[in-house]
A = this chain, B = another copy of it.
């Protein structure tokens, strides 16, 4: 059991609501644990103890079995999210198992920790956290991560994504984009209504207004030329329900 992973959720098939493979049919595996505690974390249950009784230690083979039971012959892509899955040294075994079955793996991490298996991820999103998160980016580590990916020829499998709540976050995002101009860059609207599941329509309209604002900032600014600006599609459609 040395290769077991702390897993909170296995679900799908559903669609990826954000980032570099937005819209893609995918399964989700959500791991427990994070080294950050972002002020607006939309999956705080992965690290704040509130769901600790739901954490299961599963081997890659057990994860694979759950995936194939959920969606027999109906997926070719798995998204590994957290928490911060980059805390888990043995994630590489799950990714290898997916590849052996001709399934691609996407993974998102804030970029606070390097793992050798980053080089195996088909869609790797590095998502440094802007000032509104109240977290501090360690640029020595982030530089090293981007450098290793680039040197290994992984730029085409990597993207940077920054979630934007306010103008200071936007300035931070521009700094990231200018520091690593060779990495595909995504801006994403922040979701301020975490936890409120009742008013999907109000939330949709609020998020679209926020998206339009972020679009305006981005279009007006010559420092954000080669970027993509996206909302969270799943939040537009389903609101803040967990497990989607």
Cβ contacts under 8 Å, A236 to chain B: 208, 236
A230 at the interface (CB under 8 A from B): yes
Q: Does A64 contact B (CB under 8 A)?
A: no
Task: Kindly provide the distance from the CB of A124 to the nearest chain B CB, expressed in whole angstroms.
Answer: 17
* Nearest chain B CB to A175 CB, angstrom units: 18
Chain B: minimal CB distance from A172 (Å): 18
Residue pair A23, B186 in contact (C-beta under 8 Å) = yes
The 8 A CB mask of A211-244 against B (1 = contact, 0 = none) is 1100100110110111111110100111000000
User: How far apart are the CA atoms of A73 and B73 in the complex, in Å?
Assistant: 48
Kindly identify which residue among B23, B25, B228 contacts A225, using a CB–CB cutoff of 8 Å.
B25
Chain B residues within an 8 Å CB radius of A76: 225-226
Given A24-B228, A225-B25, answer yes or no on A219-B73 (Cβ-Cβ < 8 Å).
no
Binding site for B on A (CB under 8 A): 12-15, 21-25, 72-77, 186, 201, 204-205, 208, 211-212, 215, 218-219, 221-222, 224-231, 233, 236-238
Given contacts A25-B228, A201-B205, 14 further A-B contacts (CB under 8 A): A13-B219, A14-B219, A15-B215, A15-B218, A15-B228, A23-B228, A23-B230, A72-B222, A74-B221, A75-B225, A76-B225, A211-B233, A215-B237, A231-B233
